[in-house]
Structure 1
């Protein structure tokens, strides 16, 4: 799906975001001119246009059971052992029956969060891009609860044994999601045996700028309630999570009402049910809220990308160009200095010029005829051009190696490498003060994108916030406006 198709889809579902697509198109022109976007790429491809909720956690944490309970139907397979090793993207369908579609359905559709994921997998390991179906699948579901929403059920997470590609997809999902539910089995395995997994899912997320979108959940609390001392089990988890940065009391405690084991102690049963119902209500409330948060998230991402281009990429590209320029000039000085030394040596070895003449005999012969002067000048110019081209190439190679040392493999390094390619083409001078593609027109488009984002935030506020107590399109508001204009 291209941007025009996306605009048509949004025009039917959320017209306010149509302007966001147009603003992204402005950023695409700037990114394309700078070289930070690949040919045919778009910044709009880097976000999820539908509200996205990810469910992560280790094996047997009850992720699929939680999703089935939320949907109100047994869509996902459940079990105490690994029953699915792919990321399952769940979306609404108007058909009465659920369907399972291959990963390519996600890889080729801009609306979903895994657009062009095959290319990312290919970068991790050659040949993996063609195995997209081994990592992803799409399930449609007729449940009204998933209407206008995308759920992702992840395979059981084990940081010790997880493949690089799976870890990369997991991190990618955490970045894109509006809400991330991190589930742990409260009873198994013991928290102390999950140090690496806790480090990746807890320590790696609690200090993020978007840490508020992560909910940490102890699941299967009904099993814990059957222990002699359930408080000790919960306390062990509190200590384990606190060691990884999550303070005690910040996680939820739930279990499946349908799949729960009976709790013999009635008082304990009521206490556990009360806590479960309260926490489930809060979790489901947050899940419902993402439909509103999605619009703000997209607009916020638009403004963030615009500022990142001007305040992040452009200064970095300037620095790369300056480094390349300095290195080129050093090589020029070295090569032309050596050439000058060779010429002086040749001048001396050729013998002193004849009396009354400045040039040795062989050079005098060159300057005796115009055609020989022109040929000699062309030869010198060609030699100088070759030397300078060699200096540029060596300087570019050094700059590229320095870039590789400073930036790990990833989107940032690839973008900067493309920008460097744009600035080091043979016909471009080494002296322009600004990077290729950056000028008044690009600055204007950045300003327009930021202004558009701010206008969209105001429009969203007008839709959802009504300090006067009346909706902007209500008759009361209209009457107030008319009275105000009359007075």
Structure 2
């Protein structure tokens, strides 16, 4: 088999972080090792990379209700007046050009560097017929604002009951899952519970990730420190009713500043690095803990069905032989020292291609089941690819249910990759403690058209 070529995506990532982040540069190397292993097992194609499963941009998402609090805050925080569509998920990206540009959702769906890469497939699965309407749900807006350098802001649409649907719910859950910082404006919890339930459920699901900053908007009035504490305490009790017990709070008022938000934004590079390393560790563990187990179970089921079908065919042949014995008496031929072995060889020669044909038929049903299972598990590894790779001639004939690649050698490779990832997390911890929570701003800026 030909070796896997290193994807252009990984090459450009390595170049990017060579100048800015040695931890992520080394993480790219581990992703490359994982790619090679998964390619050998038929889990990914030659042009694919496991590194694409996580956005390498630091990501901020804003979530709010129907009030203008969220959009007003973004305009103040970025120091620009945004002209975005309130019913779409808008990705805000830095541009050195003075004039902003609005690009369609297809620009996000087609670019593997951005957080909505190939999201149209998920949209189509959630709501058939909507996958081709990605421009109705997404847009990319370039903004000349220094605060957006080397990061992305995803401004989610207002929670409008009249426009809410399954796709919007899916996209909100997606951005909350992949973001490093989620600014949740508390007017979200004043919306109709029927329409904010999926969003609240996503916050509850990820509340232990320390990514949520709950923003209480009272920007029209002045509030003293004591009153601020009372407001936060009140909202903590209210959010506990929704099952939300963690997260930080900030109150916006006429006399407040954005220091806490600024600090979180300044530390996004670290948050992004931890997220990428967490994605790497989960991808490594998934090979042995999820992928191998799923395919081995499928192979066991396939083998049982094939053997059962072949036994039924063999039973039918034996019945024919018994009828022939009753009619003309042929069993003596089986005990003939010459003819007997020839008959047995003939049966084997007849049953082998039959068994192979039966195996192919049952394999098609199993492959369809694996495609469905892959979607249910929400993994990108091609389970059917590994299954098909495990259907060699001798594996069909012999009682082997272990997938190709489930070897001590590969387990040792996976273990080594896990150790490397843990070492990178430790290096990141050391780097973070040395920085003493100061601003970590890479000096490198990707040029126009350059891979990130």
CA distance in 1, matches of 2:161, 2:310: 50
- Asked if residue 330 in structure 1 is aligned to residue 308 in structure 2, the reply is yes
CA distance in 2, matches of 1:71, 1:292: 21
Give the gaps of 5 or more residues in structure 1: 78-82, 258-272, 469-487
Equivalence for 1:50: 57
CA distance in 2, matches of 1:453, 1:72: 39
Equivalence for 1:121: 123
Contact 1:91-1:149 within 8 A present in 2 as well: yes
Equivalence for 2:285: 307
Equivalence for 1:416: 383
Contact 1:61-1:220 within 8 A present in 2 as well: no
CA apart distance, 1:55: 0.8
**SS of match in other structure, 1:88:** strand
Q: CA RMSD for the aligned pairs?
A: 4.0
**SS of match in other structure, 1:90:** strand
Equivalence for 1:287: 265
CA apart distance, 1:213: 0.9
**SS of match in other structure, 2:267:** helix
CA distance in 2, matches of 1:49, 1:413: 17
Q: For 1:317-368, what per-residue CA distance to the aligned partner results, in whole angstroms no more than 9, with x for missing partners? A: 222222322233223323322222222223323x235xxx9239xx99x969
- Asked if residue 449 in structure 1 is aligned to residue 417 in structure 2, the reply is yes
**SS of match in other structure, 1:311:** helix
- Asked if residue 95 in structure 1 is aligned to residue 100 in structure 2, the reply is no
- Asked if residue 8 in structure 1 is aligned to residue 6 in structure 2, the reply is no
Contact 2:92-2:140 within 8 A present in 1 as well: yes
Equivalence for 1:60: 67
CA distance in 2, matches of 1:461, 1:239: 33
CA distance in 2, matches of 1:467, 1:250: 22
**SS of match in other structure, 2:210:** helix
CA distance in 2, matches of 1:39, 1:249: 41
Match for residue 341 of structure 1 among 319, 340, 348:
319
Question: CA, structure 1 residues 198+134, in 2 after alignment: closer, same or farther (shift >3 Å)?
Answer: closer
Equivalence for 1:194: 192
Q: Aligned pair count?
A: 424
**SS of match in other structure, 2:203:** coil
Contact 2:173-2:198 within 8 A present in 1 as well: no
CA apart distance, 1:91: 1.8
**SS of match in other structure, 1:65:** helix
**SS of match in other structure, 1:438:** coil
Stretch deviating more after TM superposition (231-240 or 317-326): 231-240
Question: CA, structure 1 residues 396+131, in 2 after alignment: closer, same or farther (shift >3 Å)?
Answer: closer
CA distance in 2, matches of 1:303, 1:125: 31
* TM-score for both structures, normalised by structure 1: 0.74
Equivalence for 1:204: 202
Contact 1:122-1:129 within 8 A present in 2 as well: yes
CA apart distance, 1:42: 1.6
**SS of match in other structure, 2:404:** coil
CA distance in 1, matches of 2:265, 2:146: 13
CA distance in 1, matches of 2:184, 2:68: 9
Contact 1:198-1:244 within 8 A present in 2 as well: no
Give the gaps of 5 or more residues in structure 2: 1-7, 437-452
Match for residue 296 of structure 2 among 313, 318, 324:
318
CA distance in 2, matches of 1:196, 1:68: 29
- Asked if residue 358 in structure 1 is aligned to residue 332 in structure 2, the reply is yes
